[in-house]
Amino acid sequence: MQAVAAKVTVIPAKKNHLPLDIVNNEVRKLRVAAYARVSTNLEEQLTSYEAQVDYYTRYIQAKEEWDFVEVYTDEGISATNTKKRDGFNRMVADALAGKIDLIITKSISRFARNTVDTLTTVRKLKEKGIEVFFEKENIRTLDGKGELLITIMSSLAQEESRSISENVTWGQRKRFADGKVSLPYGHFLGYQKGPDNLPEIVEEEAVIVRLIYRMFLYGKSPSAIASHLTDEGIPTPGGKAVWRAKVIENILTNEKYKGDALLQKRYTVDFLTKKQKVNEGEVPQYYVANSHPAIIEPEIFDLVQYELKRRKKDGRWTSSTYPFSGKIICGECGGIYGSKVWHSNTPNRTMVWQCNEKHRGQHCKTPHLTDADIQNAFLAAFNKILGNREEIMEAYREIMEALTDTHDLDTEQEQLESESEVTMELIRKVIEDNAQKAMDQGEYERKYTGYCERYEAARKRLAEIGEFRLERNAKHTKIAMFLERLAESTELVTEFDEELWYATVDFVTVYEDMRMVFTFRDGNTVEIKKREWRAA
């Protein structure tokens, strides 16, 4: 079979979350400081410096809702970093110590002379809820426009970092852009470094990865899967004996198992201290499709991502100790049925299933069920499906074709990605124009706000398309898996098969009159009355 060529997609830097404007929302008085700096000792510059100090002192003290802290200053400093700027460093230290809420400065260029120092300081202050206001650019670092400015500055910092970071750092990012993949093989289950320096499947470990995905799709939670692997004596990727639910979640959400790779998940914040953080959109990422052999089929991987979101949203994140855990729903209150042991210390010890809400004061009239009740009802429901197998499979052919067609989504996505790129360039240009020449600030604000709104709208719609595509693909995969299992079953089922239950049933709703409605993974529903499952 001919290998599929790797495809690299650049995911632009983005930052969609919009923090609160502390200046407008703070109840108590804000403690406000200012920063003034001149870069030479020339007389006209020093005059400008004195004027700045006087201006900011009067400006802050005139605001009744503000408490004046200090005007921090540096004279005759021309260095391109903040190491020798005593006034600046003292101001940042005071702010981080909780003495300042808001810092006002004339412009971005006055605040710091290189992008990396600006970004590092702004992020450090933001972590503590401290805002910086750049007067000339009319930018606040804690509102949405400030976030977008930091995004733009971050992209510019990519080029600037080449000259101030070690060659290895730049080389690594170059490899990302070229789509070259490397894994932490010592702590990564299923792969080893191949002779071509690309990930190579280790089959005895890949079996465990596939088991984890299969158990999850069967309805097991990450904690239940972790317990199972621990009990079986299977070592973790790091060689430990005890598995944790978080490790299972990481395996279930790592795109590398479907043969793709998202590069630059972390990045270096300060190229001098080498401090790193999770990349939340501050710098570009690179998504490399078909970068290496897949252990999990892409369709199955996408279905798992959909199931993860759905279960957390629906509150069906259960321990899944038994086949029926999290799958039996009360038709009266919507609660989940749980297992209970009756007469535990007698020969009549019995395990039953009943609505968990009954123990929380809910007087549901839905009945309790035994394992045999649920199993017999399932046999009756599945055999009904088998009786209409040809009709069901024929009906789904057109649905499957419609779900596979993503042309409408692809077209809209291309247009929105182009819109995002164009808008980002317009934002950069208006900021540069405002910094380099005199502009009417009302006009600047209007343009800047308009471009920001366009950019945010495009990114929001792109996220919606991604969710819709995931949902459509998940539905297609679930139906395909169901139909595959249906095609394999040629005769009526007479005994409960746990594998068949997991592969075909989504959930069962129980009603007061002991009806059970089975919702299968294809979305089809089958109602089984009491007399039907009692006769099974």
Which pLDDT value is given to residue 153? 60
Q: What percent of the chain has pLDDT over 70?
A: 78
What is the b/e burial string over 191-218, where b = at least 16 CB atoms within 10 angstroms of the residue's CB?
Answer: beeeeeebbebbeebbebbeebbbbbbb
Higher pLDDT, 195 or 454: 454
Lowest mean pLDDT among 120-124, 152-156, 209-213, 354-358: 152-156
Backbone dihedral angles phi then psi of residue 338, each to the nearest 5 degrees: -125, 165
Residue 166 pLDDT class (50, 70, 90 cuts): very low
Q: 128 near 83, Cβ under 8 Å? A: no
Go through 402-420 and write b for each residue having 16 or more CB atoms within 10 A of its CB, e for each that does not.
ebeeeeeeeeebeebbebb
How many C-beta atoms surround the C-beta of residue 51 within 10 A? 11
Q: What mean pLDDT is predicted for residues 352-368?
A: 84
CB-CB contact of 13 with 151 (8 Å): yes
Q: Tens of pLDDT along 245-280? A: 999 999 999 999 998 888 777 777 655 455 777 777
- Give the integer Cα–Cα distance in Å for 478 and 259: 21
Tokens 């990396």 map to which residue?
Answer: 116
Percentages of the chain per state (helix, strand, coil), in multiples of 5: 50, 15, 35
Phi-psi region at 229: left, alpha or beta (left = phi > 0; alpha = psi -120 to 50): alpha
pTM of the complete model? 0.56
Q: Which two tokens stand for residue 430?
A: 């208006």
Q: What secondary structure, in 3-state letters, does 389-447 show? A: HHHHHHHHHHHHHHHHCCHHHHHHHHHHHHHHHHHHHHHHHHHHHHHHCCCCHHHHHHH
**Opening angle at CA 151, ends 144 and 123, nearest 5:** 80
Distance of CA 483 to the CA centre of its chain: 31
Instruction: Say whether pLDDT at 535 is over 80.
Output: no
Of 467 and 395, more confident: 467
Interval 134-150 mean pLDDT: 77
- Which residue matches tokens 């089922």? 493
Residue 529 predicted with pLDDT over 80: yes
Q: Which residues pair with 37 in a beta bridge?
A: 74
Q: From CA 191, how far away is CA 203, in angstroms rounded?
A: 8
Is residue 524 within 8 A of residue 385, CB to CB? The reply is: yes
Q: How far apart, in Å, are the Cα atoms of 336 and each of 16, 227, 490?
A: 35, 22, 33
Rounded Cα–Cα distance for residues 155 and 217 (Å): 39
Average confidence score pLDDT of the chain: 79
The distance in angstroms from the start CA to the end CA of the chain is 48
- Per-residue pLDDT of 484-524, as tens digits, reads 777 777 788 888 888 788 878 889 999 998 899 999 877 88
Helix (H) or strand (E) holding 121: helix 115-127
Q: Convert 361-396 to b/e letters by CB count within 10 Å (16 or more is b).
A: eeebebbebebebbbbbbbbbbbebeeeeeebeeeb
Rounded CA-CA distance 401/398 in Å is 5
Task: Write the pLDDT tens digit of every residue in 73-96.
Answer: 887 554 444 556 888 999 999 999
Query: Is the Cβ–Cβ distance between 221 and 269 less than 8 Å?
Result: no
Residue 162 has pLDDT above 80, yes or no: no
| 339-342 LR contacts (CB < 8 Å, sep 24+) | 340/368
| Stretch (H or E) spanning 499 | helix 498-504
Distance CA 396, CA 378 (A): 22
The percent of residues above 90 in pLDDT, for the chain, comes to 24
Query: In terms of DSSP H, where are the helices of 264-358?
Result: 298-314
Q: Express each pLDDT in 459-492 by its tens digit.
A: 889 888 888 888 778 777 877 777 777 777 778 8
Based on the number of CB atoms within 10 Å of its own CB, is 21 exposed (0-12), middle (13-18) or buried (19 or more)?
A: middle
User: What is the Cα 97 distance to its own chain's centre?
Assistant: 32
